[in-house]
Amino acid sequence: MNTQNIRTIVENANNITDFQRKVYLALLDVPCGKTISYKELGERIGCPNPRAIGQALKRNPFSPFVPCHRVISSNGNIGGFFGKTDVKAKAKKLELLQKEGVILK
DNA sequence: TGAATAATGGCCT
DNA sequence: AGGCCATTATTCA
């Protein structure tokens, strides 16, 4: 299961809205070992408000398929993971990012 | 159809 | 540094 297949799945996914599809595609466009902020994603897909991005990612039907853990806040905060903003979720995301080779504070 | 929610960001105090 | 407001998409009733 590589990113290419994931992209195909997202493009063929008809159970999601166009907005979510854009978000997922933009997220897949992010190279491994790199992170992106909600605002950056919004700018790429043309969403003026990053809150909608969080909604789309939180309700993402492709939890493990789309690297939602690669999305972080612009404030230096890790944001959330799997619909939770608890420190546990943050630690999990941090671990995943570290595994990808992302170095953050 | 309408109201409430949310994994944010930016501005003000 | 802390707190509050603004704006959008999704979901539930």
d(CA A86, CA A9): 30
The integer distance in angstroms from the CA atom of A73 to the C1' atom of C1 is 19
Round to a whole number and report the distance in Å from the CA of A38 to the C1' of B7.
Answer: 9
| Residue-level pLDDT at A105 | 66
pTM of the model: 0.93
Question: Quick check: A67 and A27 in contact, CB under 8 A?
Answer: yes
Q: Considering only CA atoms, name the residue closest to the C1' of nucleotide C6.
A: A49
Q: 3-state DSSP call for residue A64?
A: coil
pLDDT reading at A1 higher than 90: no
Both tokens of A82, joined, read 């799997």
Active site residue A68: yes
Residue A36: CB atoms within 10 A of its CB come to 20
Query: Mean per-residue pLDDT for A18-44?
Result: 96
Token pair listed for A22: 């854009």
List the one residue out of A80, A74, A89, A28 whose CA is nearest residue A54.
A80
